[in-house]
């Protein structure tokens, strides 16, 4: 079973929020068939710990409002 439409929509929102905070190298993996606790893993890079914190905060705020 593939990731749900809702999971894909949330992934797009999270990726856009991460990109807005200058995250790079964004990659999303559909893990729904192998991992029962999640549909998608989103991986992103940031140059330092402070930037990572900003990305995390941005993604959390966006998904909280969704």
SS3 26: strand
Place of tokens 């140059």: 47
Place of tokens 């192998």: 34
Per-residue pLDDT at 2:
87
Structure tokens at 42: 């989103």
Above 80 in pLDDT, residue 10?
Answer: yes
**Confidence class for position 36, pLDDT limits 50, 70, 90:** confident
Place of tokens 């893993």: 41
pTM above 0.85, yes or no: yes
Please state, as a whole number, how many other Cβ atoms lie within 10 Å of the Cβ of residue 65. Answer: 8
Q: By C-alpha distance, which of 42, 39, 49 is closest to 19?
A: 42
């Amino acid at each position: 079973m593939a990731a749900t439409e809702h999971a894909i929509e949330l992934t797009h929102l999270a990726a856009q929020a991460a990109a807005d905070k200058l995250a790079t190298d964004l990659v999303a993996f559909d893990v729904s068939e192998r991992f029962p606790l999640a549909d998608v893993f989103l991986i992103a890079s940031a140059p330092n710990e402070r930037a990572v914190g900003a990305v995390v905060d941005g993604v959390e705020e966006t998904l909280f409002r969704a």
